[in-house]
Structure 1
Amino acid sequence: MNKKILNLAIPNIISNVSVPLLSMVDLMLMGHLESEAYIGAVALGGMIFNFIFWGLGFLRMGTTGFTAQALGNRRLDESVMTLVRALAVAMLAALIILLLQAPLAHVSFMLIQGSNEVEHIARSYFYIRIYAAPAALGLYAFNGWFLGMQNAKAPLFISVLVNVANIGLNYLLVVRWGMKAEGVALGTVIAQYMGFLAAIGIFSWRYRKLFKYIVLKKAFQKTDLWIFFKVNNDIFIRTLALISTFSFFYAESAKYGDQMLAVNSLLMQFLSLMAYGVDGFAFAAESLVGKAIGAKDGSLLHKSIRYIFRWGIGLAGVFSLTYWVAGEAVLAIMTDKTQVIALAGEFMPWVVLAPLVNAFCFIWDGIYIGATASKAMRNTTIIATFVVFLPVYCSTQYWWQNHGLWFAFTLFMATRGIGLAWLAKRYIRIY
């Protein structure tokens, strides 16, 4: 079992960690420009796209669960139909996003009010990166399907390709050619399309024998579409609640000034790095749990969950120790703004604690996705957002300010993990 988990998890960890490393490089490039406003602007712009794209994260998560269960049930025809449905939804959603980019920008910057300088820079970033939508959403569908097919190497190759290309392009555009936030956005767009083309190529070469199962009329039958959208609707609502929490976090950070926004943006990169790392085991859980449920193998299901928790929590402990020992040294690499570094040090204890709290909900997410038990994920996240996070922050902000924001965020993550653990016996089982 350890070998199965590591064969799936290690490629996913490498693939996942490259994503926050890219964000850290972006902020590092911005952190050495003349104004700290660039750090906040790119963070805000990225957060807007997280809201837009993560809201459609079901294109990856739901696709993985359905595909893994179809594979466990030896229904290759149904597995490839899942990909067709996901890609169709992805392209339709991308078209709508591109057509509505102006109102999306207006609403986004109305809700998130940074300084005039931050908003001006973020708008330039937004109107370039928006054109990555078809590639970004298409990659969600492909990566989810590859993981459901127990193929972690394809997403690894694609992610490394995208992020290495993105870092190279950002360095070229920003450092060599003198572009600023616009260069970071353009580099992201080009790299996303490189990854999307690579995904199409891998599917066409590796899975060409499955082409015979592609029947468009069958892919869009009402019964199958209803099941696909029912599960994904729950994941969509859950993701919106999750992103609302992150968006509120950044919006409140901006109210404390550009310097505090820069601090929280940098510290969130530590949490992001940890989340993507532990998600390597969560992705392994999606594949193994989905396959076990599809094959109706209860022994494999429980063994997978037990072993994945051991590996995931162990990795979280390594992150906590690393942040405790070297957190401020990493901050000094990311920015040369001494006041930002000093202020960030005051909030570093929250970052050290976060891996040990957050890892539980990340791993449970992967288990529930593999089981396509989306209703519980939706409900626990809604409760964590509106019953815990917002009330706790509103009751502590006046006397604890930014510490209150981090305290509420920590309780938000803890509530999700506890809630999913409590509901596991009801939802994670062989039917």
Structure 2
Amino acid sequence: MNARISQILRLAIPSIISNITVPLLGLVDVGIVGHIGDAKYIGAIAVGTMLFNVIYWIFGFLRMGTGGMTSQAYGHRDFKEVIRLLIRTLTIGLVIGFLFIILQIPLIQFGLWVMKPDIGMLSLCWKYCLICIWGAPAVLAMYGLTGWYVGMQNTRVPMMASIGQNILNIISSLIFVFVFHMDISGVAIGTIIAQWGGLLFSLLLLHHSYKRLYKYFSWSGLFDYHALYHFFIVNRDIFIRTLFLVSVFLSFTSIGSRQGAIILAINTLLMEFFTIFSYFTDGLAYAGEALCGKYYGARNREAFREVVYHLFYLGFIVAIFFTVIYSFAGESFLSFLTTDTHVICVSKSYIGWTCLIPIVGVSAFLLDGIFVGITNTKGLLLSSVIAAFLFFIVYLLLRSQLHNHALWLAFLLYLAARGIVEFILFIRQPV
């Protein structure tokens, strides 16, 4: 096997496994309360999980920005900056997380106002959220720590932390719910134990694997104004870019819901095709982020270009594979997700859009990783802004003629536009 491909896969495969385990935290919670016997518990968990997923997604810049800057410092062999980036991102993640706890009442109040859960489950939503908010510092610190590990070319530790976190969540939630009879509170407590346990486990592995870096620690320059300014400028662009991404995905769901329960169900199920594909391409993007950042920081143009070439080579193999799978097994996958024959029947007219997702979207995922690695965050932001505006314009122009098809067309053009704009910017980027 080609050496560059081996390099990419060594980083990508653990990231793919980590991505697959991420939704399990919410899924386990839903599965446990599903056996309590009241549908309100399931609804409250679904609302609470969605609320925290959106909040944490917005603050995903802690992972992305840290990963790009760390990989460049690592490639440049600047270990003093590597350790400074670790301390900075952990400190900032913890501070933001504790601010969430301080502001928990207005934050949850606003989130539930946006989500508008049924009045019958509102008190359960509050109970779940008021406990889960205590996991925010651990989650956000873990974002930064995961980005740092990726920058250090190590995706195995985040993978082990994700697996360990899910095992701990399952065990603790089961004990609190079925042994101590704590219903939704027990599930929430199990979740925060898993979140803090995952962070502690990652820090222990950090000490075991990287204690040699302690000698580079110095208070000098740790919170230097210029260093912090650069850190926040990079993360500011990613933060704003994430807001545009969130606006597209929330609008996609909201627009679908206005077209009735059947269309909402179809769009939700078909979006799983996008989600599964994203787990694999995000893994490749993480590898691209780590390796491109490393060679960009080391000023090794030849290695950088080889990584980009092989990254796209693997990316398009994955895209073709998923296109074939979706084309021939898409309807069977839908039947696995739901037994509602009416939903399956109506969805057949939309399933063709999902078959286009891999080919149309692969470049956006891969170039996201490359841009994060070289910290070209302005390019990430510009591509997302243009693509988001295109999404809304196309849908508004075509909704009266194409209805839900207009929504899917707008979404695919949004994915394509991100990749096209980033490609144009990339070929103009001096590397």
Which TM class, normalised by the smaller chain length? Answer: 0.7 to 0.9
Confirm or deny that 1:388 pairs with 2:402. no
What is the TM-score when the length of structure 2 is the normalising length?
A: 0.88
Deviations 1:196-229 (A, max 9, x none): 1111111111111212222334210111111111
| 2:316 counterpart (313, 317, 322) | 313
Moved more, 239-248 or 208-217: 208-217
How far the C-alpha of 1:313 sits from its partner, in A, is: 2.0
Confirm or deny that 1:68 pairs with 2:71. yes
How far the C-alpha of 1:240 sits from its partner, in A, is: 1.3
Query: In structure 2, what is the Cα distance between the partners aligned to 1:121 and 1:69?
Result: 46
Query: In structure 2, what is the Cα distance between the partners aligned to 1:251 and 1:193?
Result: 33
Shift of the 31–330 alpha-carbon distance from structure 1 to 2, 3 Å rule, reads farther
Deviations 1:114-173 (A, max 9, x none): 655676765554334322211111111111111111112111111222234445666777
Query: In structure 1, what is the Cα distance between the partners aligned to 2:279 and 2:290?
Result: 16
The residue that corresponds to 1:411 in the other structure is: 413
How far the C-alpha of 1:413 sits from its partner, in A, is: 1.1
| 1:276 counterpart (264, 274, 279) | 279
Query: In structure 2, what is the Cα distance between the partners aligned to 1:316 and 1:23?
Result: 27
The residue that corresponds to 1:285 in the other structure is: 288
Whether the aligned pair in 2 keeps the contact of 1:40 and 1:262 (CA below 8 Å) is no
1:207 is paired with a residue of what secondary structure?
helix
Moved more, 326-335 or 294-303: 326-335
With CA pairs under 8 Å and 6+ residues apart, which has the higher RCO, 1 or 2? 1
How far the C-alpha of 1:418 sits from its partner, in A, is: 0.8
1:218 is paired with a residue of what secondary structure?
coil
Whether the aligned pair in 1 keeps the contact of 2:16 and 2:282 (CA below 8 Å) is yes
Letter in 2 for 1:396: L
Shift of the 48–251 alpha-carbon distance from structure 1 to 2, 3 Å rule, reads farther
Shift of the 318–124 alpha-carbon distance from structure 1 to 2, 3 Å rule, reads farther
1:130-145 matches, within 5 Å, as: 130-145=133-148
Moved more, 123-132 or 291-300: 123-132
How far the C-alpha of 1:109 sits from its partner, in A, is: 3.4
Deviations 1:376-412 (A, max 9, x none): 1011101111x21122222333444433322222211
Shift of the 368–43 alpha-carbon distance from structure 1 to 2, 3 Å rule, reads farther
Work out the percentage of aligned pairs sharing the same amino acid. 38
The residue that corresponds to 1:359 in the other structure is: 362
Letter in 1 for 2:78: R
Confirm or deny that 1:5 pairs with 2:2. no
Query: In structure 2, what is the Cα distance between the partners aligned to 1:227 and 1:281?
Result: 26
Whether the aligned pair in 2 keeps the contact of 1:39 and 1:265 (CA below 8 Å) is no
Query: In structure 2, what is the Cα distance between the partners aligned to 1:123 and 1:202?
Result: 35
Letter in 2 for 1:63: T
The residue that corresponds to 2:326 in the other structure is: 323
Query: In structure 2, what is the Cα distance between the partners aligned to 1:189 and 1:345?
Result: 40
Confirm or deny that 1:298 pairs with 2:298. no
Shift of the 103–405 alpha-carbon distance from structure 1 to 2, 3 Å rule, reads farther
| 2:101 counterpart (95, 98, 101) | 98
Shift of the 309–117 alpha-carbon distance from structure 1 to 2, 3 Å rule, reads farther
1:135 is paired with a residue of what secondary structure?
helix
Letter in 2 for 1:79: V
| 1:56 counterpart (47, 51, 59) | 59
Q: What stretches of structure 2 of length at least 5 have no aligned partner?
A: none
**Aligned pair count?**
428
| 1:188 counterpart (188, 191, 195) | 191
Shift of the 179–199 alpha-carbon distance from structure 1 to 2, 3 Å rule, reads same
Confirm or deny that 1:147 pairs with 2:145. no
CA RMSD of superposed structures (Å):
3.1
Query: In structure 1, what is the Cα distance between the partners aligned to 2:325 and 2:80?
Result: 45
Query: In structure 1, what is the Cα distance between the partners aligned to 2:341 and 2:44?
Result: 19
Query: In structure 1, what is the Cα distance between the partners aligned to 2:411 and 2:274?
Result: 11
Whether the aligned pair in 1 keeps the contact of 2:25 and 2:191 (CA below 8 Å) is no
Letter in 2 for 1:99: I
Confirm or deny that 1:250 pairs with 2:247. no
The residue that corresponds to 1:109 in the other structure is: 112
Query: In structure 2, what is the Cα distance between the partners aligned to 1:71 and 1:17?
Result: 27
Query: In structure 2, what is the Cα distance between the partners aligned to 1:34 and 1:341?
Result: 27
2:420 is paired with a residue of what secondary structure?
helix
Shift of the 351–37 alpha-carbon distance from structure 1 to 2, 3 Å rule, reads farther
The residue that corresponds to 1:423 in the other structure is: 425
Shift of the 341–46 alpha-carbon distance from structure 1 to 2, 3 Å rule, reads farther
1:17-28 matches, within 5 Å, as: 17-20=20-23
| 1:159 counterpart (146, 159, 162) | 162
Q: What stretches of structure 1 of length at least 5 have no aligned partner?
A: none
Whether the aligned pair in 1 keeps the contact of 2:334 and 2:344 (CA below 8 Å) is yes
Shift of the 271–45 alpha-carbon distance from structure 1 to 2, 3 Å rule, reads farther
Moved more, 206-215 or 142-151: 206-215
Letter in 1 for 2:134: Y
Query: In structure 2, what is the Cα distance between the partners aligned to 1:196 and 1:350?
Result: 39
Query: In structure 1, what is the Cα distance between the partners aligned to 2:351 and 2:178?
Result: 30
How far the C-alpha of 1:96 sits from its partner, in A, is: 1.4
Letter in 2 for 1:106: Q
Moved more, 1-10 or 125-134: 125-134
The residue that corresponds to 1:397 in the other structure is: 399
How far the C-alpha of 1:330 sits from its partner, in A, is: 3.7
What is the TM-score when the length of structure 1 is the normalising length?
A: 0.88
Query: In structure 1, what is the Cα distance between the partners aligned to 2:285 and 2:397?
Result: 33
Whether the aligned pair in 1 keeps the contact of 2:323 and 2:358 (CA below 8 Å) is yes
Moved more, 163-172 or 404-413: 163-172
